[in-house]
Chains A and B, each alone.
Chain A
């Protein structure tokens, strides 16, 4: 089942045409990678898919809920991790935080639960950033450079989490300037000169 369909997406910043004609389909249970050099427009594309940014032209059709994990952690420095979960529980309209607790364990940062975010390391902030995007188990997960700052063990746990989401028919789109785990992806696209090219494997 198609969960997201982006058609003829175009985006420019002044005279710089970042995205010239991007088409992308995302089906349930798929893991898609988008690779590109720095400044190639990956984050712009993901923001458009997430509804954070308007495209100049084109359309994005979505069938389901979107979880978006931005490149820079978007958190509130005056709150603790537990308070973030409480806040997002209210926002998502969730009844319990059992899956969130599971994510805390899986990503190995349970011991920081009552720490204020301003005291956390970059890697732990990224774990929180990711958890906030996943905790309501959205249909489509859009991840912008999601494993920045992760240690090796967390990196492996991260992939295990994505596998778990895939098994539950969630779609995951990961963008990165470096993708090592090619075999984990169902499709990999290269964003170059404003167009996406599917990698032949």
Chain B
């Protein structure tokens, strides 16, 4: 239990010390919403709303604010968790070698992931409200934001455990997010209602947020779809973490092939 508390404490601390990510949240997020608010017209756009299989005619300005929020969350949180796992993976391995339980490690870092993404998603909602004061259901928008944040936080962890350097990982997350989220916005993409988009990770978060923004429907089926992406990425990140922090079996007795001719007698002395 003491290990769990310690892991939890330092998992939070690690995220809190990412000043670059916090700078982006405090400075870049309001500016981005403000800029999009200015340049995007309010003319209604047809948006394919999956829960009712109908087209919603919603304000282009407000839909764009939702995609802006999703875009920012996916990039910033993907980067935050990518950066933290890349910085700490060898250290985490050293800790597990020292005896820290990987179970508590996983539980502690998961709670930190859930809590940090929840708070950042809430912050994003508060900024969103400055530019769009009257969405129907704020909780549902937040839920969409939160689910996509966890998904991309897990994706960031996966990339951080696969790639060795920072720049390629950063670009991967930016490009992945752009392709995924940008295509959902009917303002930027006339083909945003194409069925294949439903297989994208942020699709259900977009549907959920639009449901919260423009309808009184709770899109429960979209929550399940979002969870499938989230759980997939999360499980992959756990498996990778398990193998990347695994202590090798070289200190276990392992048989040597008998009669291996490549083996030569051990030289004795100089």
Q: Which of B97, B250, B269 contacts A60 (CB 8 A)?
A: B250
- A67 to B, closest residue via Cβ: B98
A190 within 8 Å of B by Cβ? yes
A136 and B262 CA atoms in complex are apart in Å by: 40
Task: Please name all residues of chain B whose beta carbon is closer than 8 Å to the beta carbon of A60 when the two chains form the complex.
Answer: 250-251
- Pick from A54, A58, A66, A76 the residue with the most CB of B within 10 Å: A76
With A78-B14, A79-B10, A93-B99: A198-B270 Cβ-Cβ less than 8 Å: yes
Chain B residues near A88 (CB, 8 Å)?
Answer: 95, 98
Interface: A1 (CB within 8 A): no
Q: Across the two chains, which residue of chain B brings its CB closest to A48? A: B250
Q: How many residues of chain B have a CB within 8 Å of chain A?
A: 42
Q: Are B268 and A197 in contact (CB under 8 A)?
A: yes
- Interchain nearest-CB distance for A199 vs B (Å): 5
Cross-chain contact B100 with A91 (CB below 8 angstroms): yes
Q: Is the CB of A21 within 8 A of B270?
A: no
Q: How far is the CB of A120 from chain B (nearest CB, A)?
A: 15
* CB pair A51 B87 closer than 8 Å: no
Cβ A74 vs Cβ B90 within 8 A: yes
A158 interface residue (CB < 8 Å to B): no
**Interface status of A179 (Cβ within 8 A of chain B):** no
- Knowing A8-B256, A195-B266, say if A92 contacts B98 (CB, 8 Å): yes
Q: How close is A4's CB to chain B, nearest CB, in angstroms?
A: 9
Chain B at the A interface: mostly helix, strand, loop or mixed?
Answer: loop
Residue of A nearest to B15 (CB): A78
Chain A contact residues, majority secondary structure? mixed
Residue numbers in A under 8 Å from B250 (CB-CB): 48, 51, 53-55, 59-60
Interface check A105, CB cutoff 8 A: no
A197 to B249, CA, bound (A): 26
A51 touches B95 (CB 8 A): no
B263 within 8 Å of A by Cβ? yes
Q: A76-B91, A83-B13, A91-B100 are in contact. Are A200 and B270 (CB under 8 A)?
A: yes
Interface residue? A161 (CB, 8 A)? no
A24 (CB) vs chain B CBs: closest residue: B266
> B263 to chain A: which residues have CB within 8 Å?
8, 10, 21
B3 on the interface (CB 8 Å rule)? yes
- Contact assessment for B98 and A86 in the assembled complex, using a CB-CB cutoff below 8 Å: no
Are the CB atoms of A21 and B87 closer together than 8 Å? no
A51 in contact with B248 (CB, 8 Å) = yes
In the complex, what distance in Å separates the CA atom of A189 from the CA atom of B83? 41
Instruction: List residues of B whose CB falls within 8 A of some A CB.
Output: 2-3, 6-7, 10, 13-14, 17-18, 84, 87-88, 90-91, 93-100, 247-257, 260, 262-264, 266-270
Residues of A within 8 A of B (CB): 7-8, 10, 20-21, 23, 48-55, 57-62, 66, 68, 70, 74-79, 83, 86-88, 90-93, 116, 132, 136, 190, 195-200
